[in-house]
Amino acid sequence: MNRLVFILLFFTLIACDRPADPSSVVGSLRDSIAAAITPIHRVVHLPDSGRMEGDEINGKREGPWASYFKSGGIWSRSTFVNGLEEGPTEVFHENGMTYYTGYYLHGNPYGEWVFSDLHGKELKRVVYDSTGVVVR
């Protein structure tokens, strides 16, 4: 019996090679609790022209959002981070053809955006710097 206790104690000590950093444990626990109690609300707006769907956290848009025409077809797709558009965005004509595509960086248009007509023919390209200013 003593031998078994000794072996279990020995392997337990080996498994506990070094103590955990208390600040990392507290920080991780704090983040887990915050994530568990942060209210995420699914939002569906129904304006006269169609509807918008997405999530809000603390009153700010978060994650993927989509807008739809009254007919039900997709109008736009974007992603939000802390209330600001971030990443690729697509906007469509009511006939389903792409109206424009682009990219958002911290809420500002960034890089090359391509605009097309109702039939998919390219109308223009616009390039934005990281602050959303047109550079060409």
List, for residues 35-67, the tens digit of each pLDDT value: 556 677 787 877 677 899 999 999 899 999 999
CATH architecture of 40-128: Single Sheet (2.20)
pTM value is 0.68
The residues spanned by each domain of the chain are 40-128
- Three-class SS state of 58: coil
- DSSP, collapsed to helix, strand or coil, labels residue 42 as strand
| pLDDT for the residue 25 | 47
Residue with tokens 């990219």: 103
